[in-house]
Amino acid sequence: GSEGELLLRVRSTSSLAPNLVVRGIGDFETTENRSSRVQGIALGANSLLLVVGIVLSARLQERVYWATAALFLASTVVTAYLSGLGPLIYWAAYPQLVLFVASQMVAAITVVGNWFFMQFLETRSRLPRLHRLLRGSQILVLLPVLASPFLEMRLSFLLQQALTPILVALWIALLIA
C-alpha cells in the first residue's frame, strides 16, 4: 500500500462520544487558518477593549473602570489560552507559565468578575447580602491560589476543581433566596 498522512482535530464537550472529522490536508489547513483568523480577531478585540478600559480608568479614576479593565485583562488571557494562541505565540518559551495560567484561570475570572459586579452594582451599600456572598466566593477561590506556592501545581488545580461545586451551590443559593 501507499503511505499517507492523517491530521485529526477532536472537538467535543463529551469525552465519551467525540465528534471526529477526517479531512484532506488542503481542507484541514483551510479550516485551521480560518479558525486561527477568527480567534485572532477575537483576541484583538479583547485587547482593544483592555486598552480602552485602562484609558478610561486612568482618565476617570473610578473603581468600576479599574474593575472593567481587570475583567478585560482576565478575559484576554483566558481567550489567548483557550484559543491556543497564548501558549503558541505569547508565552511559548515559558512552559511553566502555560501550566500556571491553566491552573489559575478559574480563580482569576471568579475574583475579577466578582470585583467587577461588586463595583458595578455597588453591592456594599445597595445589596450587602450579595456583597458578602461575592466576597466569600472570592476568598474561597483564592485559598488554593494562595496555597499554590506550597503545593504541587496539579494539587492546587485539583483543589480549585474541588471548590467549584461549593461556588455553584453558593450561586444557586443566591438565585433561590
pLDDT of the residue at 55: 92
Helices (H), 61-152: 63-83, 85, 95-120, 123-126, 128-147
Nearest to 147 by CA among 90, 85, 104, 93: 104
CA distance 135 to 113: 11
Which is more confident, 80 or 161?
80
Query: What is the mean pLDDT of the segment spanning 105-121?
Result: 85
What does the buried/exposed string (b/e) look like for 90-113 if buried means 16 or more CB atoms within 10 Å of the residue's CB?
Answer: bbeeeeeebebbebbbbbbbbbbb
**Residue 16: pLDDT over 70:** no
| 87, pLDDT greater than 70 | yes
Q: Which pLDDT score, from 0 to 100, does residue 59 have?
A: 92
Q: DSSP letter at 9?
A: E
Please indicate, yes or no, whether the overall pTM of this predicted structure exceeds 0.85.
no
